[in-house]
Amino acid sequence: MSRDPILDSGDDAIYALRTTAPGPAGSLPLDADRLRRMSSGDLFGWTQNAGMGWSPAAMLGKQFLILSTQGGIRAPDGTPIALGYHTGHWEVGLLMEEAAREFTAAKAIPFAGYVSDPCDGRTNGTPGMLDSLAYRNDAAIVLRRLVRSLPTRRGVLGVATCDKGLPAMLMALAGCPDLPTILVPGGVTLLAEEAEDTGKVQTLATRFARDEISLEHAAEMGCRACGSPGGGCQFMGTAATSQVVAEALGLALPHAALAPSGSPIWRDVARRSARALLALDLAGTTTRDLLTDDSLHNAMVCHAAFGGSTNLVLHIPAIAHAAGLRRPTVDDWARINRVVPRLVDSLPNGPRHFATVQVYLAGGVPEAMLHLRDLGLLKLDARTVTGRTLGDNLTWWEKSERRTRLREKLRTLDGIDPGDVIMPAAQARARGLASTVTFLRGNLAPEGALVKSTAIAPQLIDADGLFEHEGPARVFTSEAHAIAAIKAGSVKPGDVLVLAGIGPGCGMPETYQVTSALKHIKDGQRIALITDGRFSGVSTGACIGHISPEAWAGGPIGKLRDGDTIRLHVNTRSLEGTVDVVSVSADELAMRPLHPGLKPNPLVPADTHLWSALQNASGGSWGGCVYDAARITELLNLGLATEAARLGNSPKAR
């Protein structure tokens, strides 16, 4: 009878067993007084440390926790054993190793934990996107629980890179006000030579379906887009913008964001970050000292100066909430975007579309901050993880060898003048770098909407900075139907593509599959888009999102029909505008039922339904899609009291 290899391997070596072993040599560094005072958990922790191989003689060192979004399994030479979800979490274990060795060299004891993250690019256009934004809150909760589950930690070093993992890590660190914390950004991938970037390749299927590229082109470009195996994408999307924001908050070292993944300079950031965390502990400096209203202001200013992803309108308020600070409002965003000029020319905004690694070599965050400092737009007294103020850091950067050598490196490697990548306000204005985000109102968005005005095609904006579009609505109630229509060519230039029913009520999936298609297909820039959903940070075009109230909350967008005339008005200078339906009266629109195509998506998981309800009770998308425990508890108690009264019972105390 043949052997079943699943039931039994037939390898005799598996029977070389034992039931006892000598255990670690040596003894714990205990004295009578310490032992009397130790909790059982502290003592058993030492026992397990010895069991994992840590020298008992080194057991008294300070303990520091390294948290990461690492994914996949790599062999020592970097080849894949099991793939990660994305390049952004593929190599970050190397940063953890560098930091851990630095802690050990200082006679501290490093611990490590992991909460891997999904890839928005991988899940775009799939049911996986229904878990994307909800994941962020869950991961932040788990990361904070891991911090609290190591009661002996003296500080936390977080390593993260991409769209949801990095905001989650920042939320987790912000939620540790009494500990020193520091963020190590996971860097960016290199440009691939003679290849499309990682944003453009996501449109290959649509362009092929419209006969705009060959099958051979799609196969080759799809293979070659990632110039290196690690790091976030090559554009100023959510991943890169989150790295910029982490540094602007003062939670990452100067010039840490956007480093080329896998390089010596990237590893060096991790080593110096570990040293900085040790110094913060010695100084008694905690996250509460660093995360303040001033640091949030600086983060929002840098977001505007870099032309960052609109997804940070969700993430910065969430970080503020985790830190116990006031969440910035739509009015705060609008005010800052009106006074802060865009100074950085990067993918996808342009006009010359430099990659994130080129932005890094041009000086990255501190270089942009020099110009912002000169404009009087920064809070220079904000404290940072260097132990110095932001103003002190910028004084160092301005005269540093690092700045001089890296900017010259950009000239040598790519023939690019760093002053063409990051520039003073007057030069930026002369080159047409418009401000980042315009916040809109109108009868379709009574509670607000936004558009990344930097991303509207320049030829569609007149000499006064106005973008205006009026056209018939083409209404879709699912992303799948919308992308199918684009591929078929049935959405025409001049149309307004309406994508309703994809707001927070179903998980608020991003719609990059649609927005990227409109960017790269022939005449796609002349098709406008309005939606109650959100966009990828690399989205471009006249794409208006976050329309509120959303369709599932009875918002006007859910009552539109094919053929309704939509008028869009965006002033890219004053950063004001409107989104209106003009072919029917407000009263007539209000009387309409919701679009008959709006049906609950059966693929939305119960977990996401719960996320939707909790974040809605906590302020919704404009409040950062967070969980406000006090508010949720209050509403639950009101509901329980109402139910008890209806049933004639006394409510149970909560």
For the annotated catalytic residues, the residue numbers are 536
Q: For residue 405, count CB atoms less than 10 angstroms from its CB and return exposed for 0-12, middle for 13-18, buried for 19 or more.
A: exposed
Q: Left (φ > 0), alpha (ψ -120 to 50) or beta: where does 243 sit?
A: alpha
Distance of CA 457 to the CA centre of its chain: 25
- Cβ neighbours of residue 542 closer than 8 Å, sequence gap 6 or more: 451, 456, 457, 460, 467, 469, 525, 528, 529, 568, 570
Question: Residue written as tokens 């008890």?
Answer: 644
CA–CA dist 349, 522 (Å, integer): 19
**Going by DSSP bridges, is the β-strand pair 576-581/565-571 parallel, antiparallel, or unpaired?**
antiparallel
Q: For residue 189, count CB atoms less than 10 angstroms from its CB and return exposed for 0-12, middle for 13-18, buried for 19 or more.
A: buried
CA–CA dist 167, 171 (Å, integer): 6
**Which DSSP helix (H) or strand (E) runs through 641?**
helix 629-647
CA–CA dist 524, 522 (Å, integer): 5
Phi, psi of 624, deg, nearest 5: 95, 5
- Cβ neighbours of residue 211 closer than 8 Å, sequence gap 6 or more: none
Question: Residue written as tokens 């996107």?
Answer: 129
**Which DSSP helix (H) or strand (E) runs through 206?**
helix 204-209
Question: Residue written as tokens 């910028």?
Answer: 394
Residue among 542, 552, 519 nearest 471 (CA): 542
Distance linking the first and last C-alpha atoms of the chain: 65
DSSP-derived letter for residue 67 is E
Ranges of H-type helices in 284-362 = 287-290, 293-306, 312-322, 330-339, 356-361
Concatenating the DSSP letter of every residue in 138-174 gives: HHHHHHHHHHHT-TTEEEEEEEE-STTHHHHHHHHHH
Record the tokens describing residue 54, joined without a space. 């840590």
CA angle in degrees (0–180, nearest 5) for 379-382-383: 160
- Please check whether residue 55 is in contact with residue 145, taking contact to mean a CB–CB distance below 8 angstroms: no
CA–CA dist 450, 107 (Å, integer): 50
**Going by DSSP bridges, is the β-strand pair 528-531/73-74 parallel, antiparallel, or unpaired?**
unpaired
**Which DSSP helix (H) or strand (E) runs through 576?**
strand 576-581
Record the tokens describing residue 444, joined without a space. 């379709």
- Please check whether residue 276 is in contact with residue 103, taking contact to mean a CB–CB distance below 8 angstroms: no
- Please check whether residue 235 is in contact with residue 347, taking contact to mean a CB–CB distance below 8 angstroms: yes
